[in-house]
Structure 1
Amino acid sequence: MVKEKLTKRETKKIQSKKSIIEAATKLFAEKGLSETSIADIMKESKLGLGTFYNYFESKEALLKELLNQMAEDIRTSFAFISQTRETYTEILESVVVQTASVLDKNRFVLPLFIKAADKSALPPESEHETGAAPLFKYIFDGIIKKGQENKEFRDDIPAGIVTEMFHSIFQAASFSSLPIDFCDNVHYKVMVIIDGLKVK
C-alpha cells in the first residue's frame, strides 16, 4: 500500500500544531500552567494568536492533549518493557522508572498527575478517566495482580493498596529535600517497596 503524499497545506497544519505544543510545553515548564497565557504560547511559537483556535478550543484542551501524549508514551514503554523483561518484578521496576523519566521531562504536569490519583482503578478507556495518571494505575494494578497470580508477589496485600503506594512515590520524590535526582529518588523508593512485595 502506497502512502499518499501530504499536501503543503497539510504539512503546514501538522507543523503549526507541533510548534504550538512544543511552545506550550516549554512555557509550562518555565512559568507554570496558570502563569502561561495563550498569547504567550503563540508568541513563543511565532504564530498568530488566532491560529491557536484552529487546533485547540482552550488552554485546557491543549493541556489535555499533552497529558494524552504522555499517556501514550507510558503505554508504548509498557508494551516494550512487558515483552523484553522476564519477571513481573523487572516489569514493575522498569515501568515505574520509565514513568518517572516521562514526568521528570514534563514536571509541570506532576501536580496534575498526583491530583488525578483517585481511589478507582478503571481502565483508561473509561469516559471518566483520561491521561497518564489513570493509565498508570490501570497498568500497575494489572502487573501486580499478574505477579500475585504467578506467586512472584505476596497475595496477602490487595493490589490496589500496592498501586496507591507506587503512585505516592512520585509525590514523595517531588517534595523530597534530599540532594538526590528525582528519577534516582523514585528508583530507590521502588526498590524498597518491591523488596517488601516479593514472596520470600
Structure 2
Amino acid sequence: MGRRERKKLQSRRTILEAAISEFSKKGYKDTSVADIMSTADLGIGTFYNYFTSKEDLLFSLLERLSETIRMALAEARAAERTSLELLEVGARVTAKFLDENRFVMPLFLAGAQHMAHSAPTDGMPHGRHPHAAKAEDAAQEGKRPRRMTPQIKQVFTEIITEGQAAGEIRADVPVDLIAEMFHSLYQAAAFSHLELSFQENIALKTRLLLDGICKRSEGAARV
C-alpha cells in the first residue's frame, strides 16, 4: 500500500472513530457532519470523499459488526465448535457490539429499511452538498455499488443450515424462521423492562432458543 492509500485509509478511520465518539455522546440524530469532522480535525468537504451521508457512515459502522462476528466465528470454527456453540458466539458478539454502540441499534433493528429519501439531518444548507452530490451520482452510475444492508442474518442462516445438515439442529423448523428468531432477540431485549443488563438478557434468551432448536433425538449436545 502506497503512502497516499495509507493516508486515505487513516483519514477514513479517523472519521469513523470521531463519529463513534460523537454518536456516543450526543446520539445519532443530534450529531451533525460538522460535529464529526470537528472532532476528526478535518474539513467538512473531506467527509464526502469517503461517505455520501451521515447514514452511509452509520452503515459502515454496522458493517464492522459483520466483520467482528465473522472473526469470532472463524476462531470458534478453528476450535471445532458445534453449530449451536457457533450460534451462541454470534449472538454474544452481536449483543456486546450493540451494547457498546447503542447508536447503531435503530439501524440494526430496522434491517433492510433505508431512509434515503428522508429529510436531511446533517445540518447542511438546502440541497445536497456538492461533494455528496458527486458521490451519490457515482454510486447511481454503478461505479461504487453499496450493500446497504449488513449480512448478519445471512451469517446465522449459514450456521443453522450447517447445523441441520450435521444433525445438531432440528430440521422440522425452517432455517429462515430460526434466523429470524435470533434477529428478534435484540429487539425484545432492547425494549425489555426486566432488571437485567442488555447482554445478560440476550444471553438468557439465546440459551432458551438454542435449547429449543437442539436436535435431542440424535444426541446433540446442549449449549
Q: What is the TM-score with the length of structure 2 in the denominator?
A: 0.74
How do residues 1-200 of structure 1 correspond to structure 2 at under 5 angstroms? Answer: 6-7=2-3, 10-116=5-111, 130-132=148-150, 135-200=151-216
Give 5+ residue unaligned stretches, structure 1.
119-126
Aligned CA RMSD, in angstroms, stands at: 2.2
Cα 1:164–1:114, aligned 2, differ >3 Å: closer, same or farther?
Answer: same
1:71/1:131 contact within 8 Å kept: no
How many Å separate the matches in 1 of 2:22 and 2:212? 40
- RCO (CA 8 Å, sep 6+): is it higher in 1 or 2? 2
Q: Deviations over 1:22-57 (max 9, x none)?
A: 111111222222211111111122222233233323
- How much has 1:191 moved relative to structure 2? 0.3
Per the alignment, in what secondary structure is the counterpart of residue 54 of structure 1? coil
Residue segments in structure 2 that go unaligned for 5+ positions in a row? 114-144, 217-223
Alpha-carbon distance, 1:173 to partner: 0.9
Distance 1:117 1:20, change over 3 A: closer
Paired amino acid for 1:155: A
Cα distance between partner residues in 1 of 2:45 and 2:168? 55
For 1:54 and 1:66, the matched residues in 2 are separated by 17
Query: Cα gap change, 1:152/1:37 in structure 2, threshold over 3 Å: closer, same or farther?
Result: same
Mapped to 1, the partners of 2:178 and 2:63 lie a distance apart of 24
Q: How many residue pairs were aligned?
A: 185
Contact (CA 8 Å) 2:68, 2:93: kept in 1 or not? no
State the Cα deviation string for residues 117-161 of structure 1 (Å, max 9, x = none).
Answer: 68xxxxxxxx895443xx221111121122112221111111111
Shift in alpha-carbon separation, 1:45–1:163, aligned structure 2, 3 A: same
Aligned-pair identity in percent equals 44
C-alpha distance in 2 between matches for 1:51 and 1:198: 50
CA drift of 1:103 comes to 1.7
Tell me if structure 2 keeps the 8 A contact 1:100–1:170: yes
Instruction: For residues 75-127 of structure 1, give each alpha carbon's deviation from its aligned partner in whole angstroms, at most 9, with x where no partner exists.
Output: 22222222224311111111111111122222111111111168xxxxxxxx8
Structure with a larger share of its residues in helix: 1
